[in-house]
Amino acid sequence: MTSRNPDSGTRLAAVIGDPVAQSLSPIIHNAVFESLKVNWLYLAFLVEAGKVKDALDAMAVFGIAGLSVTMPHKNEVARLVREIGEIDEIVRVTNSANTVMLRQDGSMFATNTDGQGACNAIEANSSQKIAKSRVVVLGAGGTASAVVYSLIKNGAAEVVIANRTPANAEKIAQNYENCRVSSNLDREVANAEIIINTTPVGFNPSGEQNSKSVIAPIDVTLINATHTVLDAVYRPLETGLLGAAKKVGAQTIDGLEMLVHQASLQQEVWLGVRGDTDLMRRAALDRQ
């Protein structure tokens, strides 16, 4: 039985967030479930603020084996699962969860695959290694927190966070010895090998290039051919930041690549095996 023909034995997984209409997660996860011939089906559920606990309770009621969590619920899911189940170190440190598993015994486990997904995407699509690298992270939200955690765990020499509100960046940086906050982007970008954008700057839900999508979160003249640039935004695939980076010869990684790599890690949590990231990317591009 495949995910296209669900039956009483089908295990469910889903993404919860607000909004979720634009999510590519059902497409990419179902493509993997089909390829692995497992009886799983992945759906998207719109969950409004104030109803996150109800969504977690529904996992046990309806036998939903796994959840992906997107904005704006990552922090609340981390808090709730900390109270009722088990969280791992990344969730404890970052207070952000993007993956939940309902175990066979009914207990709940939460982790976050965003950061390692970003690291894997960089190393799979460029010659740049995370270890010993100097990295500038743009933004200080839940995704940034997970990315910084994983960069440090993967041996980055130094991580510099740049954010409009420095206090939010300081909350992340204080957890690590070799992480700091800086407002002098000219100097920091010049000294960095990797630049990662975790802000929504450049996002357009339609995926079309327009005046918003070509806006970049930093002065693009700071980027040169020695840089590796990842943008977590995947609509459009080529943001203003990535377009400018390509023009000067930098290595670039789009947000879809980060998405499929973090999804592969989610599948490992739920199924015990990582899905094919190339398969997921092709499935997503076919629906674009």
232 with 159, same domain: the answer is yes
Do 242 and 229 contact (CB within 8 A), yes or no?
yes
Domain containing 86 — which CATH number?
3.40.50.10860
Whether 206 shows a pLDDT value over 90: the answer reads no
Average pLDDT over every residue of 19-40 = 95
Which sequence positions are flagged as catalytic? 74
126 with 223, same domain: the answer is yes
87 with 131, same domain: the answer is no
137 part of a folded domain: yes
Tell me the residue range of the domain where 29 lies: 11-112+262-287
Average pLDDT over every residue of 150-177 = 97
Domain containing 177 — which CATH number?
3.40.50.720
205 with 248, same domain: the answer is yes
Taking alpha carbons only, the member of 30, 103, 11 closest to residue 279 is: 30
- Confidence tier at 1 by pLDDT (50, 70, 90): very low
- Neighbouring C-alpha atoms within 13 Å toward the C-beta of 287: 16
pLDDT digits (tens, 9 = 90+) for 81-137: 999 999 999 999 999 999 999 999 999 999 999 999 999 999 999 999 999 999 999
Taking alpha carbons only, the member of 201, 200, 139 closest to residue 168 is: 139
> How far apart are the C-alpha atoms of 240 and 220, rounded to whole Å?
9
| Number of domains, the chain | 2
147 with 47, same domain: the answer is no
